[in-house]
Amino acid sequence: MAKAAKTAIKTKDQKSAAEAKNWSKVIRTVRSPKTGAYTFKESIVHKEKIKEFLGH
């Protein structure tokens, strides 16, 4: 029964799956001016705007 559910999920929303490939999770390190420690900022960004996100 689980195999049928997996197949239904794959074929049900192919358009959304194709659109999801245009997005990426981007992680950037940010240094705290107060303590000097590094933290991480992560976001889900469209693939065309990744350079803008990393460029500040």
pLDDT tens for the chain, residues 1 to 56:
555 555 555 656 777 777 788 899 999 999 999 999 999 999 999 999 989 888 86
- Is there a contact between 27 and 41 (Cβ–Cβ < 8 Å)? yes
- Is there a contact between 42 and 27 (Cβ–Cβ < 8 Å)? yes
- Is there a contact between 23 and 45 (Cβ–Cβ < 8 Å)? yes
Q: Per the confidence metrics, is the pTM higher than 0.85?
A: no
Closest CA to 31 of 22, 39, 42: 39
